[in-house]
Amino acid sequence: MKYLKIDNNLFIRNRKKLKNKLAKNTLAIINSNDIMPTNADGTMPFRQNNDLFWLSGVDQEESVLVIYPDNDEKEILFLKETNELIAIWEGAKLSKEEALNVSGISTVYWLSEMEEKLKELISNCDGVYLNNNIHSRAASIVETRDDRFRKEFAEKYNKEVLEVAPIMHELRSIKSEIEISLIQNACDITEKGVRRILPFIRPGVMEYEIEAELMHEFLRNRSNGFAYQPIIGSGRDSCVLHYIDNNKECKDGDILLMDFGAEYANYASDLTRTVPVNGRFSSRQKDVYNSVLYVMKEATKMLRPGTVFKEYNSEIGRIMESELIKLGLLDKHDVQKQNPKKPLYRKYFMHGTSHYLGLDVHDVGSFDWPMKEGMVFTCEPGIYILEEELGIRLENDILVAAGGPEDLMKNIPIEIEEIEDLMN
């Protein structure tokens, strides 16, 4: 892994939090992700199951974690054993000593021993927590290792199955100090990327060249690269919310919307900046930009303990309506007569303002919960005027803290003067 070793106290404390949530005399089983194939003998880069990583720090395939608080062996790792072939072709996998160093788990078995050991453990417990993906945006039809294990479990055992995913969502939504420092590191790498590309952007540059400059900066700072597919959209494509082709020439007079973030140690950052290709905002671009920036600053103030998402979104909608009226995009009389269930501002601002951030870019957590200290959210309002080929979105990552919102991207240029100075 490119990232520096993480203090294993993070994972020790995380497992303790989960143990405190499990029912008496039950155990939890969490599997790693698979290495996904491409074609022939090719594979995609490995990405660990975030629940397994959060609990153990183990970042390799074919790994299984068992947590059984009422057993003598309370925490058990099952790992892939290195043989001579693996060592030569792929490099050695974690040894038992290395696994202890990474995770703080002293009981480690090889996968070849798992079947017999699980029989013993499951025969003594009253129920088993299994994992699955219940994220509200999950749409994958690919069967995961956890999915396959669930099927095998039903065939082999007659035990009550409990769900660990809701517990993991609750626990992972609150970030510890170590997690916040890892997210901050990802944000700091993203800042380096921003400062690298702003002087590079000019008429004639290709969108993918900007993407390449960012990737260079991320990799040289111990990131594996982008936390998600980057959006580098100029002109009309600044209004396309998930434009990822990044294959056009940036032209004089156009606006350029860039939505990207570095990952670090599997933790994500998520930033959006919108800049003028030629280095100077036009009068209209400035007006729309300043409206989005105002909405962002007002929304950020509301990211504090106790805020309820329904009220948060309602207030942001009210502020956005006012800005769109000032820009001449909405008529105040039409707004007064609008259907409250279909607000007119949605024509120009059609997405949410905030989502959870952590190991996943759209991290786990419920929008029915009031905000709590330790949660991290994006703040990303936008105005998209397709008929003017002008889309402006701004986004920073915000920590909900007792003393008020803490902007983890406060050092990244966002004011018009800052942007223009760096571009010129």
**pTM of the predicted structure, to 2 decimals:** 0.96
What domains are there in the chain, each with its CATH number? Answer: 9-172 (3.40.350.10), 177-423 (3.90.230.10)
pLDDT in tens, 269-281: 999 999 999 999 9
- By annotation, the residues acting in catalysis are 41, 242, 259, 270, 351, 355, 362, 380, 384, 393, 395
Q: What is the largest CA-CA distance in the chain?
A: 76
pLDDT in tens, 214-255: 999 999 999 999 999 999 999 999 999 999 999 999 999 999
Residue 140 pLDDT level (bands cut at 50, 70, 90): confident
User: Which pLDDT does position 90 carry in this prediction?
Assistant: 84
How far apart are alpha carbons 344 and 329 in whole angstroms?
10
pLDDT in tens, 100-136: 999 999 999 999 999 999 999 999 999 999 999 888 7
Q: Which two tokens stand for residue 421?
A: 């100075």
In the three-class reduction of DSSP (H, G, I as helix; E, B as strand; rest coil), residue 186 is classed as helix
User: Which pLDDT does position 138 carry in this prediction?
Assistant: 79
> Are 257 and 299 contacting, i.e. CB atoms less than 8 angstroms apart?
no
Q: Pick the residue with more confidence: 137 or 215?
A: 215
- Position 139 pLDDT exceeds 80: no
The contacts of residue 50 (CB under 8 Å, 6+ apart) are: 172, 266, 359, 360
The mean pLDDT of 176-195, rounded to a whole number, is 98
Could you give phi then psi for residue 316, rounded to 5 degrees? -65, -40
| Mean pLDDT rounded to a whole number for the chain | 96
